[in-house]
Amino acid sequence: MLPVVWKNSAKNDLMEIIGYIADKNPDAAERFKTHIEKAAELLSIVPMGFRKGITLGTREYLVHPNYFLVYEIEAGQVSILRVIHSRRQYP
């Protein structure tokens, strides 16, 4: 198992998304946060289990119908770089 590290950009993305959801439904925001955190834990077990990213050296994990994690495997750890809405232009 590899340690999973959230980069500041990913933390900011997640907090922004949770804040947006919480404005409409605080319970749904908490469920979403828990779901994303549990999904991220899976990366420590199967880091190569998800598709190659469109940015060289990254991988992408669709953790929700509307959101995916962009991550890279480096220096013996999984680094989550971004949490991206599937309709958002990326990169």
Helix axes 8-24, 26-45, angle to 10 degrees: 150
Would you list the domain boundaries of the chain? 4-85
- Superfamily designation of domain 4-85: RelE-like (3.30.2310.20)
pLDDT at position 91 is 82
The predicted pLDDT at position 30 comes to 98
Residue 36: per-residue pLDDT? 97
Predicted local distance difference test score (pLDDT) of residue 90: 80
pLDDT means per 10 residues in the chain (91 residues)? 97 98 98 96 96 97 96 96 92 82
For position 89, what pLDDT does the model report? 84
